[in-house]
């Protein structure tokens, strides 16, 4: 038995997130379908994270245990021949039998994209949050810096999470503009449920004057979710990179 690490990309618009569930089609299910068509066995795959419905991934890692002889580029091509156009495998390599894509990840980077033009951009439909009012990315970036460091991020976790340890270390949090595209980038050693989307919603509320400029610092001190803004919608969120 060989353990393979598959690195994939997907547009999450059509899926109910990564993990297999009974009430909707998921990325994991479609990947398992492709694996079964190639190998003849419906194998389980373990992912590096759980992405929500509508969230995208430019780099998502998962492991597959298989006795099938194909590896590397040949396995990637074989799987891609059976995957839908919005999911693709771009790297396959053998890893140690005890390698775990989630627990051995030392960090991840997420980006959140906002299309901040006067009119909708069809190329960013379901790929970015559309806001026509001109945003001050400088105000948002200044507020975002208060998110960095090692803190208890309990306030930035949606209800329903069963995680007990809510302390994380955020090494980067920035907001940049390139034309009409505003991007929030966050790198941390781990993320809580909806952590980035709550951050983005809070930054938008700070920029609009609905929350004070130090709202993030206050929430880190109080650990109260009600001190923050709304959870931003999923379509703008991308898992950008996984670090091992």
Question: Which residues are the active-site residues?
Answer: 52
Q: Is the dihedral of CA 193, 94, 29, 10 positive or negative?
A: positive
Q: Which helix (H) or strand (E) holds 140?
A: helix 137-144
Q: Could you tell me how far CA 152 lies from the centroid of its own chain?
A: 20
Q: How far is Cα 95 from Cα 57, in angstroms, rounded to an integer?
A: 22
**Which of 91, 62, 82 minimizes the C-alpha distance to 3?**
62
Torsion of CA 53, 58, 61, 67, to 10 degrees: 100
Distance CA 187, CA 179 (A): 23
* DSSP conformation letters of 148-187: -EEEE-GGGS-TT---S--EEEEEEEEEEEETTEEEEEEE
């Amino acid at each position: 038995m060989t353990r393979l690490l598959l690195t994939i990309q997907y547009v999450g618009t059509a899926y109910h997130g990564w993990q297999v569930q009974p009430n909707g089609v998921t990325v994991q299910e479609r990947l398992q379908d492709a694996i079964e068509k190639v190998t003849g066995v419906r194998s389980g795959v373990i992912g590096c994270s759980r992405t929500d419905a509508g969230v995208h991934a430019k780099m998502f890692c998962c492991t597959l245990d298989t006795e099938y002889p194909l590896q590397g580029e040949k396995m990637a091509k074989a799987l891609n021949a059976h995957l839908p156009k919005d999911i693709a495998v771009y790297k396959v390599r053998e890893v140690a039998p005890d390698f775990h894509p989630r627990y051995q990840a030392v960090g991840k980077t997420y980006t959140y994209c906002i299309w901040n033009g006067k009119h909708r951009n069809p190329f960013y439909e379901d790929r970015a949050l559309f806001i026509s009012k001109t945003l001050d990315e400088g105000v948002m970036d200044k507020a975002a810096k208060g998110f960095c460091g090692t803190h208890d991020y309990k306030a930035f976790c949606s209800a329903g999470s069963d995680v007990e340890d809510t302390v994380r270390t955020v090494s980067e949090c920035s907001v940049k503009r390139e034309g009409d595209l505003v991007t929030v980038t966050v790198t941390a050693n781990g993320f809580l449920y909806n952590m980035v989307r709550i951050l983005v919603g809070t930054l938008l509320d700070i920029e609009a004057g609905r929350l004070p400029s130090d709202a993030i610092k206050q929430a880190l001190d109080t650990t109260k979710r009600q001190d923050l803004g709304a959870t931003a919608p999923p379509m703008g969120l991308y898992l950008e990179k996984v670090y091992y």
